[in-house]
Structure 1
Amino acid sequence: MKKILLIEANVAAGRELLGAAAQLGAQTYVATHEELYEQYPIDLREEIAGTVFTDFARPDDALRELAAFCRSTGIDAVVTSWEFLSPLAIRLAAELGLPGHLPEAADACRNKRAMAEAFARHQVPAPRTVWAPDARALAERIAASGLSYPLVVKPAENAGSIGVTVVRSAGDLPAAAALAQAQTHEFPHNIPLDTTLLAQEYVGGDEFSVETVISDGTVHHLAITEKFTTQGDSRAELGHTVPAVLEPPAAAAVLDAAERAVTALGLRNGIAHTEIKADAQGHARVIETGARPPGDHIMRLVQEALGISEARAYLQAALGQTPDVTPRRDRAAAIRFLAAPRAGTLRWIGNLPEGDGILDTNTYVMPGDKVGGPHDNIGRVGHVMLQAPTADEVNKAALDVVNSLTVEVETAW
């Protein structure tokens, strides 16, 4: 029986990987933090063959401790479901001689400054990027580079659109920099974050992501996901649809850009989630690529729409097996997130849908809970997942659902 080490399980992708491992007849061991494991639901613990505790805030010690555990346990593959832990997973697989990605590029799979440097070296179509330690130095770098506003300011390391601002003038730069540097440690593992400031040229167009499995360097693109985001100065993701509605030339440009990004980051055996913007002329530019499963239940959307288990394919690639990437369905699936219109106290969420085409509804908060505004992905209060024969139909159904929902918030005065 094959043995898999999953670095962190307490997210949606972790549950999907545990389920896929069971289907493959493999045992899954989980590496996590002891205090976080105490919060694991009982049903999640029951799917785990064993656990190993370490401190992810000390990556060198974690690598040594996990390598010793893997050798003593006979681990055959290392995977992760958590974006912040992908460099550790890459280095651990290399240390053990297991299938994985190139360890010298591990940091570039997570740190957006290192990623921008890798993209520039390999001529990946991506926004021009400059970086600096503080707002004053960033303003000087912007001026020297010839970049013009609007620009996107973000931290080198974070996720979920946290700390990201569309900056429209130099006068708005200090506030954007303060927001980008506000969070210094990841939650819940307390991993220190690189708070270097990045400024990227603003790229117009629609947003997509490409879901990819790589096996011995061979790239298998499973799906192009259409993304829906807020507008204005912040960028929170409102939902996703699989597959995206794209004309063939535009789809080809998106897939080509994703493949070039994957290659630039040295991804060889595993999974990738590449976020891309593409305009009406078919020009595609890579915003970022992660060496980890997609969040936001996108793996389930791929399964519901195309009949491909992305989690299973990821595990197969990490085990050195040929991944099963054959589509078995020709449908569409979508998820839309519910957000509070502003920060305050949740009063109620009304008109949650039921019936044909509704795969799942879930609320994350209860009446009386404090909620944030729709500025990043942390402000979500729930989701609805749908399916339909085509992407156009599922998008229409999703729009009808969103328009009928009510999220009422009481603002404290």
Structure 2
Amino acid sequence: MPKLLLLEAMGNTAEYVLDAARDLKVEVIVVTHEDVHEDWYSPAVKRKIEENGKLVFTDFSDSEGALRQLTELARAEDVGGVVACWEFLTPLVARLTADLGLPGNDPSRAISCRNKRIMARAFAEHGVPAPTTVTPRTLEEAYDLVEAAGLSYPVVVKPAEQSGSWGVSVVHSDEELATAFAAAQSHLFQMPHGIPLDPHVIVQEYIGGTEFSIETVAVRGVVTPLFPYDKFTTGGARRAEFGHTVPAELDDASVDTLQRAAVSAAQALGVTDGIAHIELKLLADGTTRVIELGARLPGDHIVALMRQARGIDEARIYVQVALGLEPSLTATANTAAGIRFLTPSRGGVLRSVSGIGNAGAVALSRLTVQPGGSVRAPGDNDARVGYVILHADTAAEVNAAAAEVLADVTVEVA
């Protein structure tokens, strides 16, 4: 039986990867930390690991020690592929696969898929259409670099290394820039593993237009784009994601523009084997700007949406590419699916969520915080208390149904 090394299964893609491996008759060796497994893993993920694999514990905050330990483990177990379900470990995956001679991305450029400061430089060097970006270490340097680059407000401020829209702000003045800069630098270790993060801050040209996401699949250096889908974010100073619809309803020219930009971004960052998740904006003049790329599966249950709407199983593809197998990228369905996240109007203790309903396009609804649990104030993806998945014949129908659901839902917080 082939063996797959999976680094950290606490992300919301882990269940999909574990299911895909089981269906492919692949044994999974999950690597995590003992405390993380105990405190962060859901009962469902723990059960899936027990049924089709085993656990190994390591210290990911010591990347060199983890690399040595996991290289020895992979050789002893005759591992045939390595993946990660937590994007902070994708550079480690690239180093491991290179050392083991397995399919993987360019280890010399893998950090550029995780660190937005290095990513911006790579995009500029390879002519990838992207926002003008400066990368200061201090607030004083930020003011100087913004002026030197000819940037004007509004600008986007975010950490060099974070995820989930954490620390992302749109600012309109020097005073707001100071506040946003401090917030972006407030967490320099990624928990729960304590991985040190780049202290630089990203300050970018604000790009208008409409935001989309897209995945590419790379097999032995050949990069193929899938189709773009809608990404919905909140307005105002903080930009959290509140939903997605698969696929986006776009004309052929717009689809081609987004796909070409996605492929160029993946190639610029050395994505040669595996899936890359790219976020872009399409402007009114028909051009696009690549916002960022992650060398990973998409989160937010997009794997389920893609499978439901188009019959494409990205988790299965991810496992197949890692093992050197040829994946199928052919769509077998022609419908649409969407997800909308439920958030409170303020932080506090969740009392109830009501009004979701079960009729029409609603395929699934789930609370991720139970009544009595603490909830964060809205502002990033950690404020979510649940989600609704919808399925219909077209994206327009999904979006209309989603709007009705969100209008009827009440999240009560004490």
- When the two structures are superposed, what TM-score results if normalisation uses the length of structure 1? 0.97
Deviations 1:162-203 (A, max 9, x none): 111101112211100111011111122111111211100000
Distance (Å, rounded) in 1 between the aligned partners of 2:249 and 2:407: 21
Asked if 1:27 is matched to 2:27, the reply is yes
Aligned to 2:387, what secondary structure does the other structure show?
A: strand
Q: CA deviation at 1:50?
A: 1.7
Query: Aligned match of 1:327 in 304, 328, 331?
Result: 331
Asked if 1:233 is matched to 2:230, the reply is no
Corresponding residue number in structure 2 for 1:274:
278
Distance (Å, rounded) in 1 between the aligned partners of 2:360 and 2:97: 44
Name the count of aligned residue pairs: 410
Distance (Å, rounded) in 2 between the aligned partners of 1:57 and 1:362: 33
Aligned to 2:275, what secondary structure does the other structure show?
A: strand
Query: Aligned match of 1:190 in 187, 194, 200?
Result: 194
Deviates more, 1:143-152 or 1:375-384: 143-152
Kindly report which structure 2 residues correspond to 1:151-230, keeping only aligned pairs within 5 A, or say none: 151-230=155-234
Q: What code does the residue aligned with 1:146 have? A: G
Query: Aligned match of 2:369 in 353, 360, 365?
Result: 365
Deviations 1:131-174 (A, max 9, x none): 11111111111111111111101110000111111011122111
Aligned to 2:199, what secondary structure does the other structure show?
A: coil
Aligned to 1:46, what secondary structure does the other structure show?
A: helix
Corresponding residue number in structure 2 for 1:243:
247
Distance (Å, rounded) in 2 between the aligned partners of 1:59 and 1:191: 9
Query: Aligned match of 1:139 in 143, 163, 176?
Result: 143
Q: Check conservation: 1:245, 1:391, Cα contact below 8 A.
A: yes
Deviations 1:215-250 (A, max 9, x none): 111222223120111001110001000001112111
Distance (Å, rounded) in 1 between the aligned partners of 2:52 and 2:11: 14
Kindly report which structure 2 residues correspond to 1:11-410, keeping only aligned pairs within 5 A, or say none: 11-39=11-39, 40=41, 41=43, 42-410=46-414
Deviations 1:310-369 (A, max 9, x none): 111111111111111110000000000001011222221111221353222111222232
Distance (Å, rounded) in 1 between the aligned partners of 2:81 and 2:359: 40
Q: Could you say what the CA RMSD is over the residues aligned between the two structures, in angstroms?
A: 1.2
Deviations 1:47-67 (A, max 9, x none): 441222111111111111110
Aligned to 1:362, what secondary structure does the other structure show?
A: strand
- The unaligned stretches of length 5 or more in structure 1 are none
Q: What code does the residue aligned with 1:167 have? A: V
Distance (Å, rounded) in 1 between the aligned partners of 2:70 and 2:350: 42
Q: Check conservation: 2:277, 2:297, Cα contact below 8 A.
A: yes
Q: What code does the residue aligned with 1:82 have? A: W
Distance (Å, rounded) in 2 between the aligned partners of 1:371 and 1:323: 40
Q: Check conservation: 2:223, 2:263, Cα contact below 8 A.
A: yes
Distance (Å, rounded) in 1 between the aligned partners of 2:188 and 2:374: 23
Distance (Å, rounded) in 2 between the aligned partners of 1:221 and 1:357: 28
Q: Check conservation: 2:32, 2:58, Cα contact below 8 A.
A: yes
Distance (Å, rounded) in 2 between the aligned partners of 1:151 and 1:4: 42
Q: What code does the residue aligned with 1:303 have? A: R
Distance (Å, rounded) in 1 between the aligned partners of 2:253 and 2:67: 43
Deviates more, 1:112-121 or 1:213-222: 213-222
Q: What code does the residue aligned with 1:219 have? A: V
Identity score, percent: 48
Deviations 1:90-115 (A, max 9, x none): 11111111011111101101000010
Q: Which runs of 4+ in 1 moved over 3 A?
A: none
Q: What code does the residue aligned with 2:350 have? A: L
- The unaligned stretches of length 5 or more in structure 2 are none
- When the two structures are superposed, what TM-score results if normalisation uses the length of structure 2? 0.97
Distance (Å, rounded) in 1 between the aligned partners of 2:199 and 2:327: 37
Q: CA deviation at 1:82?
A: 0.8
Distance (Å, rounded) in 2 between the aligned partners of 1:354 and 1:18: 28
Taking a change above 3 Å as real, the CA distance of residues 345 and 147 of structure 1, as seen in their structure-2 partners, is: same
Asked if 1:2 is matched to 2:6, the reply is no
Distance (Å, rounded) in 2 between the aligned partners of 1:96 and 1:244: 39
Q: CA deviation at 1:370?
A: 2.2
Distance (Å, rounded) in 2 between the aligned partners of 1:384 and 1:349: 12
